[in-house]
Amino acid sequence: MPEPQFRLGQPVTFARPTLITPHGRYEVVRIYPIDGLDQRYSIKSEAEPYERVVRQADLAAWEGPGELPPHERRPPRERPASAPGRARVPVSRPAISRS
């Protein structure tokens, strides 16, 4: 019998969040015996008063409070290099006289 991918107490999140399965940190509170082909877990969020029973394929390891899960990460945007000889120069505006 294969080992479960996640352990009790491990923080996890949904691999593909939807409106029904929101993004957030959950904790594995129960590991069920394999029934058929899928490993199932009970997970609990501090934001919800109930546990959810989910398939292993629907979960991903939680990367930490400041990081997004892998499916939500975007590569950093590359900034275009400035064209040579085209430095940004502030534009001067004429003074407004208030007489």
Is the pTM higher than 0.75? The answer reads: no
In tens, the pLDDT along 39-59 reads: 999 999 988 899 999 999 999
pLDDT of residue 21: 75
Q: Tell me the two tokens of residue 28.
A: 């594995």
Q: Cα-atom radius of gyration of the chain, to the nearest Å?
A: 25
C-alpha dist (Å) from residue 17 to 22, 23, 59: 5, 5, 10
In tens, the pLDDT along 76-96 reads: 555 555 555 566 666 667 777
Every domain of the chain and the residues it spans: 11-64
pLDDT of residue 16: 86
In tens, the pLDDT along 3-41 reads: 888 999 999 999 888 877 777 899 999 999 887 788 999
pLDDT of residue 19: 77
pLDDT of residue 32: 93
pLDDT of residue 10: 94
